[in-house]
Amino acid sequence: MNESYIERLRVLHEVLLGLQVTNGRGSRLDPATGFNRLLQLTLDARKKHSAIFLVGNGASASMASHIAADLCKNADLNTEVFSDFSLLTAVANDVGSDHLYAVPLKRRAKANDILVAISSSGKSRNILESVRMGRKMGVKVITFSAMSINNPLRKTGDLNFYIRAGSYGLAESAHAVLLHYWVDMLSR
């Protein structure tokens, strides 16, 4: 039986209402507090001219690129995504795909920049490796993940936004809503 459009909206609504936000110690924050902390981190980054790097794979990579453009254009932030095909294929070929984002991050990021890591599964090795690199460099890490409540990405950020979505479509749709809410908060 096909799910109706209205039922799909209800499911997405429930997924979004189930948002769980944790800090770097794993303590749970209410979503409003989590978003306020994200807003403050971002405003501090703008004030200090720090960079915001966004990474993801597949649809999450497209979302990273879209949100980076919106943050730059609408919120006056210095953003970067690693979407240069020559760079990505060189790193994948010469170093390995697990280091796809960690290598350019190591070359371009500095302490107090922000890394936004988006992964529906929370298990993508190249995303986890970029977080490890960012941590090593003193970069603040914000994660957006879904699927399993025990996914490894969910435990790695200074702020972690997790939604319990059972499919990639729901995870990606919910992440898009959350990321756009962040942009809208900054654009007001």
Phi, psi of 107, rounded to the nearest 5 degrees: -80, -30
- Judged against a pLDDT cut of 90, whether residue 79 lies above it is answered with yes
pLDDT band, residue 2 (cuts 50/70/90):
confident
Residues of the chain with pLDDT > 90, as a percent, come to 96
Cα distance between residue 17 and residue 101, in whole Å = 31
Q: Which two tokens stand for residue 2?
A: 């096909």
Say which CATH number the domain at 34 has.
3.40.50.10490
pLDDT per residue as tens digits for the range 66-78: 999 999 999 999 9
Cα 73 to its chain centre, rounded Å, is 18
Q: Which DSSP symbol is given to 137?
A: H
**Cβ atoms < 10 Å from Cβ of 45:** 20
Q: Which two tokens stand for residue 94?
A: 């010469």
DSSP string over 29-77: E-HHHHHHHHHHHHHHHHHHT-EEEEE-STHHHHHHHHHHHHHHHHH--
pLDDT per residue as tens digits for the range 156-175: 999 999 999 989 999 999 99
Q: How many domains does the chain have?
A: 1
Q: Which DSSP symbol is given to 162?
A: E
Q: Which of 128, 78, 67 has its CA nearest to residue 108?
A: 78
Phi, psi of 30, rounded to the nearest 5 degrees: -70, 150
Instruction: Look at residue 115 in the predicted model and tell me its pLDDT.
Output: 98
Q: Is this model's pTM higher than 0.85 or not?
A: yes
pLDDT per residue as tens digits for the range 91-109: 999 999 999 999 999 999 9
Q: Residue 168 carries which side chain, given as an amino acid letter?
A: Y
Domain of 60? 5-187
- Judged against a pLDDT cut of 90, whether residue 54 lies above it is answered with yes
